[in-house]
Amino acid sequence: MTQTTRHPNLRPTLRLLCLAGLSTFLGTAALAQDTSHYYGGVSVGQSKTQTDAAGLTSGLLPGVGVLNSTTDEKDTAYKLFGGYQFNRNIALEGGYFDLGKNSFNANTVPAGTLAGESRVQGLNLDLVGTLPFTERLSALARVGVQHAWTKSTASGTGAGALVAPHSKHNGSGAKVGFGLQYEMSPAVWIRGEVERYRIKNAVGQRNNVDVATLSLVFPFGRAPAQRVAAAPAYVAPAPVYVTPAPVYVTPAPQVVIVTPPPAPAPVVVTPAPQRVNFSADTLFGFDTATVRPEGRAALDKFSGQLAGTRYDTITVEGHTDRKGSAAYNQTLSTERAESVKSYLVNSGRLDPAKISAVGKGESMPVTAAADCSDSLPRAQLITCLQPDRRVDVEVTGTR
């Protein structure tokens, strides 16, 4: 007896990889303030269904064996899905899937033929983890549950003539997957994924369906990205000197030698302190005090503008909005001010003895409470309070 088989059992390996990947994403999740939104999408790709002709024959016709068989395990698959992105790292996604058809043909013992075809459709609910590599490219891992129904037809001759022409099997099972996602624009993303479904076949046996798909994802209801104006170029003012009035001596009738007094030292007027504002949304991720790449670029520009100038002190002040407890906001603002000070010293090569850092918490908001009411929807309130989340740097004594 011969049988065509083209479906290696990768279930343990895929499951371990996907669960390990998802655990990593969940472990590094940080709740962002401006990334929660809904999305929808469509996928198309290819499915490969584990098809055991001998097992299907014995299940459809008890007591009948297989002399030889062929299988067709591949077909087009597609999905329609929608979800909610809670933050940059976690989403909940559900949808409808059609895994296409699979079929087999067998020569039976006793003599006869048997042919069968099955189509798999269903619904799924997944937890999706995302690990960003860059601002646009991310890795994905998913784990979820699915409920699939398998509709089958069969026909035969000889020993296979007694097969039931139609059957249907429903069942729920797990599904896992992993892939990559690229944000082509704020309104269109593209995904490439590999997934495994555990479904029931034409005789109710469990088998695997592996699916490789390409998806288009369309986010909506997403808060616009915060735009922060670049810090203005800092130009040290020129010193102001006060020249004393000249001393005029009227000569006496006789010849008198008058020695003029020494010229007084020039009076230098110290300019007012200069203050530069940085948005905390640009400098840091939510709930962290680690400077992001965008923040490093802004601080590098600031420290570059100070190069070659002379200053007495630099004060770094961290500020938060009013969301959260006052104690928590005080701690976060202090950590962020210290983080900016450390970066200016280590990367900007500024004198650490002249830099101080202090956290102001939520005590010095820029917005008015009447303008940003707590009754606003969450996304609008976060956007309205954006000016309060900042780091102010004050330079004094520059000359």
**Exposed / middle / buried, residue 21 (Cβ in 10 Å: 0-12, 13-18, 19+):** buried
Domain limits of the chain?
Answer: 2-220, 274-396
- Name the token pair of 201: 């076949």
pTM: 0.51
d(CA 143, CA 39): 18
d(CA 16, CA 60): 34
Give me the mean pLDDT over the 216-225 stretch: 80
Q: Tell whether omega for the bond before 273 is within 30 degrees of 0, i.e. cis.
A: no
Could you tell me which residue, 93 or 281, shows the higher pLDDT? 93
pLDDT, tens digit, 9 for 90 and up, residues 71-116:
999 999 999 999 999 998 999 999 999 999 999 999 999 999 999 9
Position of tokens 């472990």?
27
pLDDT, tens digit, 9 for 90 and up, residues 285-331:
878 889 888 889 988 988 888 877 888 899 999 999 888 899 999 99
d(CA 83, CA 127): 10
Give me the mean pLDDT over the 274-280 stretch: 85
Average model confidence (pLDDT) across the chain: 84
Could you tell me which residue, 102 or 14, shows the higher pLDDT? 102
**Separation in Å, CA 305 to CA 233, 246, 298, 301:** 7, 40, 11, 6
Which CATH class for the 274-396 domain?
alpha beta
d(CA 340, CA 357): 8
Q: Three-state secondary structure along 347-370?
A: CCCCCHHHEEEEEEECCCCCCCCC
d(CA 294, CA 284): 9
Please report, rounded to a whole number, the percentage of residues in the chain having pLDDT higher than 70.
Answer: 80
d(CA 289, CA 292): 9
**Helix and strand tally (H, E) in the chain?**
6, 14
Region of 51 please: left (phi>0), alpha (psi -120 to 50) or beta.
Answer: beta
d(CA 235, CA 306): 8
Residues 6+ apart with CB under 8 A from 98: 77, 78, 79, 119, 120, 121
- Name the token pair of 291: 């400077």
* One-letter amino acid of 5: T
> Do 2-220 and 274-396 share a fold?
no
Pick the CATH number of 2-220 from 2.40.160.20, 3.30.70.100, 1.10.1660.10, 3.30.420.40: 2.40.160.20
Q: What is the pLDDT of residue 139?
A: 97
